[in-house]
Amino acid sequence: MVLDTNRAFGCVKIDIRRERCLACGTCVRICPAEVLNVREGVLVAEPERGVGCLACGQCVCVCPRDAIEVSGRDLTRADAVLPDGERADYPHLRRLLLGRRSVRRFRDEPVSSEDVDRILEAAATAPMGFPPSHVGVLVARDRERVQQLRRDLLPGVRGMRKVMRALRPLHGLMLGREAAQGFRRFIMPIAQSYEDHDARGEDVFFYDAPLALHFYGRALADPADPVIAATLAMVAAEALGLGTCVLGFPGPLLRQSAKLRRKYGLPEKIQPGMCLAIGHPAVKFGRAIRRRFVEIRAVA
């Protein structure tokens, strides 16, 4: 059997370079699909066994002799690369993460296309479910395009407020008591503020950012997939000296609007995912803020 998705059909090709393979079994132990075996001292690949080879590439990465090549399901031989330089260590990462703040004031300076590519390359390393990924990215690469996206999204905010105002007595039934309260006290006022600021020519939706990246999932994605990718994009942008702000509104609005999905070439069915406003911070953050989880419970 081969696990088909709307992007991955058919069988993967697993080439074993016999002259290099020692049949050590490292790839067998690591393979999540159990399509590799050592039989009578010889490595055997059965890419159609069980759920079939997913082209995760783990066997290629662990082989001490570089004896395996996998291609298919969006994986090519050229994708097996050596990570360059030294592995980032915890102190560096901690400094980066602790120093990050949501940025809502950006300098009037574009984000270079090289940096956009770097952010996307880093985000694409996210564990977005079994490959090939079902996560897409809508890129608004300059301020004009970000503003165009904002102008396109604002009518959806207005529509949402109108519908939700009309359905007010049913909020509790529709959303549950707590979520309904959150909606009334948090989401609705924010939605209102987008419109109020817009009337004054101010952008509190994308904060005049010179770049917006919206990570969405196609129908078969898990809702977490685009969020994980967006989170890595946020960290990558931070590493490049840029600032980011997570934006929760664009996703549901794009999912709702067939007209906008058509305009921006998005698939018919998408998961809301997560959007990032990105740019050069206008303000320097001198201090970090420690944050904590609501609770950490141990399994007794």
Ligand X SMILES: Cc1cc2nc3c(=O)[nH]c(=O)nc-3n(C[C@H](O)[C@H](O)[C@H](O)COP(=O)(O)O)c2cc1C
Binding site for ligand X (CB under 6 A): 101-102, 104, 245-249
Quote the CA–CA distance of 122 and 124 in Å, as a whole number.
Answer: 5
Q: How far is the CB of 296 from ligand X (least distance, A)?
A: 18
| Joined tokens for residue 135 | 């996560």
What residues pair up with 243 in beta bridges, in sequence order?
279
The residue among 11 and 98 lying less far from ligand X, judged by its C-beta, is 98
Amino acid identity for residue 193 in this structure: S
Q: How far is the CB of 203 from ligand X (least distance, A)?
A: 11
Q: How far is the CB of 246 from ligand X (least distance, A)?
A: 4
The residue among 27 and 215 lying less far from ligand X, judged by its C-beta, is 215
The residue among 107 and 197 lying less far from ligand X, judged by its C-beta, is 197
Residues 6+ apart with CB under 8 A from 219: 6, 134, 267, 269, 270, 271
Quote the CA–CA distance of 122 and 229 in Å, as a whole number.
Answer: 9
Q: How far is the CB of 163 from ligand X (least distance, A)?
A: 19
DSSP SS3 for 119 = helix
Q: How far is the CB of 249 from ligand X (least distance, A)?
A: 5
**Cβ–Cβ under 8 Å, residues 2 and 10:** yes
The residue among 236 and 245 lying less far from ligand X, judged by its C-beta, is 245
**Cβ–Cβ under 8 Å, residues 280 and 106:** yes
**Cβ–Cβ under 8 Å, residues 164 and 188:** yes
Q: How far is the CB of 248 from ligand X (least distance, A)?
A: 3
The residue among 12 and 234 lying less far from ligand X, judged by its C-beta, is 234
**Cβ–Cβ under 8 Å, residues 36 and 161:** no
Quote the CA–CA distance of 26 and 39 in Å, as a whole number.
Answer: 14
Amino acid identity for residue 24 in this structure: C
Quote the CA–CA distance of 105 and 281 in Å, as a whole number.
Answer: 6
The residue among 215 and 249 lying less far from ligand X, judged by its C-beta, is 249
The residue among 14 and 247 lying less far from ligand X, judged by its C-beta, is 247
Q: How far is the CB of 257 from ligand X (least distance, A)?
A: 17
The residue among 164 and 247 lying less far from ligand X, judged by its C-beta, is 247
What residues pair up with 137 in beta bridges, in sequence order?
215
Q: How far is the CB of 207 from ligand X (least distance, A)?
A: 7
Quote the CA–CA distance of 240 and 114 in Å, as a whole number.
Answer: 11
